[in-house]
Amino acid sequence: MNWTRATRAWIERTVPMEDLLPDRLPAYVRSYVYYFGVLTLSSFLLLILSGVILAFAGPGWWHVSSTGHFFNSIHFWAVQAFFFFMVLHLWAQFFMAAWRGGRQANWVTGVLLFVVSILAAFTGFLSQQNFDSQWIALQGKDAFNALGVGSFFNLLNFGQMYGLHIFILPLVLAVLISVHLLLVRAKGVVPPIEDGSSKKVGQNGD
């Protein structure tokens, strides 16, 4: 068996290009609720962009430069925007029962994205090298130690937290976002709940 041919065939079968980037969509997506996802993605892109600038200049830059502080402010408020839109997106998908029709994996990757995002933000707070990170590290260590995680996830180890924040966790998020988007396109946007039908919400094919 040719693995390359098999992989190409699987991709073409799972997400053909016209499904990946469609120029026509079902009319029911014309609801403001559908903007929460793309606004979350946009906030993530802004986080990456501002984060790259902060990382390029080094973790001490924004404490001594007004330009650096401004980029930190952008990064700071982009986090708030990211979580604001993501939580709205999550609630909207819940109330749409968006796992219907074999879309359970979309829901699972979405929740995983939420959890990893919390870790990414947390390591960001710990990477600030100021009173905030000092306080959060010293308070938070007890919770991580109590759960047995503190042995290999040391909040007081700046190098570990910074590495996780600027590389490992964003990479995990980027991969999860890619899978999440591919799943949305592979299965199509979740259709309206057809009330009056005999099928129950949450069951496949609703």
Partner 1 sequence: MATESGTRHERSFRMVEADLIRELVVAFLAVTVLVVVVAALLSSPDERTFTAAQLAAKDPAALETTALQWLNGEDDIASYGPPYNHQTGSLQNLGFFAPQSWFGVTIPVDPARDFFLHPLERMRALDPALPSALKAWNDASPTRRGGWETAYGHALKVTGGARLTALRFSGPLPTLMKAYLSLARSGALEAIINADGRVYQTDFTDALLPLQGDPLQTKAGDEKLLGTQWGMMKEPGNYPGAVWLWFYTLLYQIPPYNTSSSGDLLAGLTVGVVTILLLLIPWIPGLRDIPRWVRIYRLIWKDHYARRD
Chain positions 163 to 182 lying near partner 1, rule: CB under 8 A, are none
CA distance 194 to 172: 36
The count of other CB atoms within 10 Å of the CB of residue 157 is 13
CB 124 within 8 A of CB 79: yes
Region 24-63 residues binding partner 1, contact defined as CB under 8 A: 24-31, 33, 35, 38-39, 41-43, 45-46, 62-63
Contact characters 132-161, partner 1, x per CB under 8 A: x-xx-xxx--xx-xxxx-xxx-x-xxxxx-
> Closest separation between CB of residue 81 and partner 1, Å?
6
Smaller CB distance to partner 1: residue 45 or 175?
45
In the list 111, 171, 174, 175, the residue contacting partner 1 (rule: CB under 8 A) is 111
Count of beta carbons in the 10 Å neighbourhood of residue 58: 9
Minimum distance from residue 130 beta carbon to partner 1 (Å): 5
Kindly tell me which residue out of 115, 171, 174, 175 binds partner 1, with binding defined by CB under 8 A.
Answer: 115
Q: How many CA atoms lie within 13 A of 205 on its CB side?
A: 3
Query: Which listed residue (48, 53, 55, 74) binds partner 1 by CB under 8 A?
Result: 74
Query: Which residue's CB is nearer to partner 1, number 57 or number 121?
Result: 121
Q: How far is it, in rounded angstroms, from Cα 145 to Cα 202?
A: 38
Choice between 121 and 179, CB closer to partner 1: 121
Among 48, 69, 88, 168, binds partner 1 (CB under 8 A): 69
Pick the closer one to partner 1 by CB: 7 or 135. 135
Examine residue 6 and tell whether it contacts partner 1 (CB under 8 A). Answer: no
Number of residues that bind partner 1 (CB under 8 A): 92
Beta-carbon contacts of residue 125 (< 8 Å; ≥ 6 apart): 132, 133, 136
What's the half-sphere exposure (Cβ side, CA atoms, 13 Å) at 43? 20
Q: In terms of CB distance, is 7 or 80 closer to partner 1?
A: 80
Residue 158, classified by CB atoms within 10 Å of its CB into exposed (0-12), middle (13-18) or buried (19+), is middle
Rounded CA-CA distance 80/38 in Å is 15
